[in-house]
């Protein structure tokens, strides 16, 4: 259902585009109709805003974001019940942020997302759901230190950190980002940063309040975006006595043979 209504053209686009999308010959027309268009979708008792083209997979067919990666959404929600703060590093359009915020009114969330289009969509969702007082969106990259980093946008709402890039984004210290709220109480951290987790997790040694942190990290395959290294990530999470499991609670063992470039694994970590 389109976020902007009231015109015949808008109504026609809403009705036609899912049908056009199924026919390859008409997809170019669909892209013209939907350029810069925002689509809303029911989501956990509220709504979520999508980019009509970038997220066509999530609204022109059977897939809906409420059921996409729902095991991760539900695990974050369960963990959030015992936390005062959630930090969503690599929040994108806010699927995980909203999945928690719309079902747990007691949690405060800090969402870090460098992609401008994704951040705007998340802010639109927060406004429509009247949740902006509990969720703060920061337009930045979580990095090794405060400053700026290169960033390459792989799509209108995606992207990843690069060593050299014409596009520069503000960087905020990952360790400080976690340590300050963890000093005040239990803190849930979700990390999904397209391979850059290998760099971020090295900063955990500077987090003094790890014992108040529970973390869900998406690990990417070896060499993903030139930086992914799940075996190293596993070692970094175990440093300081960290316990690492799958989201269902099974211990995570060796990752030596994992080389599929599109495969990811969500792990959960906590420290004594």
Do the domain assignments include residue 215? yes
Q: Are residues 23 and 104 in the same domain?
A: no
pLDDT digit string (tens) for the chain, length 272 residues: 444 443 333 444 455 555 555 555 545 545 555 667 899 999 999 999 999 888 988 988 888 999 999 999 999 999 999 999 999 999 999 999 999 999 999 999 999 999 999 999 999 999 999 999 999 999 999 999 999 999 998 767 888 999 876 789 999 999 999 999 999 999 999 999 999 999 999 999 999 999 999 999 999 999 999 999 999 999 999 998 999 999 999 999 777 656 676 678 999 999 99
Cβ–Cβ under 8 Å, residues 135 and 96: no
Asked if residue 65 belongs to a domain, the reply is: no
On whether both 84 and 166 belong to a single domain, the answer is: yes
| Residues whose CB is less than 8 angstroms from the CB of residue 165 and which lie 6 or more positions away in sequence, other chains included | 150, 151, 152
29 and 84, same structural domain? Answer: no
DSSP letter for 205, please. G
Q: Encoding tokens for residue 40? A: 């809303």
Residues 165 and 97 in one domain: yes
Same domain as 257, residue 233: yes
Q: Phi first, then psi: give them for residue 211, nearest 5 degrees.
A: -65, -15
38 and 78 part of one domain: no
Domain that holds residue 51: 8-58
Tell me the two tokens of residue 187.
Answer: 């803190």
Q: Please report whether residue 214 resides in a domain.
A: yes
């Amino acid at each position: 259902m389109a976020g902007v209504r009231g015109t015949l053209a808008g109504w026609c686009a809403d009705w036609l585009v899912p049908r056009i999308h199924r026919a390859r010959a008409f997809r170019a027309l669909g892209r013209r109709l939907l350029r810069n268009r925002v689509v809303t979708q029911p989501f956990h008792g509220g709504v979520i805003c999508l980019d009509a083209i970038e997220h066509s997979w999530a609204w022109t067919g059977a897939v809906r974001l409420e059921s996409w990666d729902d095991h991760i959404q539900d695990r974050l929600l369960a963990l959030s019940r015992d936390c005062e703060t959630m930090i969503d590093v690599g929040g994108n359009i806010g699927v995980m942020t909203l999945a928690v915020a719309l079902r747990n009114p007691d949690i405060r969330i800090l969402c870090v997302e460098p992609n401008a289009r994704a951040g705007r969509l998340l802010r639109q969702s927060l406004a429509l759901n009247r949740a902006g007082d509990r969720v703060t969106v920061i337009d930045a990259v979580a990095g090794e230190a405060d400053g700026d980093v290169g960033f390459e946008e792989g799509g209108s709402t995606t992207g990843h950190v690069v060593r050299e890039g014409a596009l520069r984004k503000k960087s905020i210290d990952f360790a400080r980002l976690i340590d300050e709220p963890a000093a005040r109480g239990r803190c849930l951290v979700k990390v999904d940063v397209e391979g850059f987790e290998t760099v971020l997790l090295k900063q955990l040694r500077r987090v003094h309040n790890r014992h108040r942190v529970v973390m869900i990290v998406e690990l990417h395959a070896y060499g993903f975006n030139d930086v992914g290294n799940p075996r190293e990530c596993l070692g970094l999470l175990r440093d300081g006595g960290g316990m690492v499991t799958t989201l269902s609670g099974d211990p995570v063992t060796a990752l030596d043979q994992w080389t599929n470039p599109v495969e990811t694994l969500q792990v959960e970590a906590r420290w004594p």
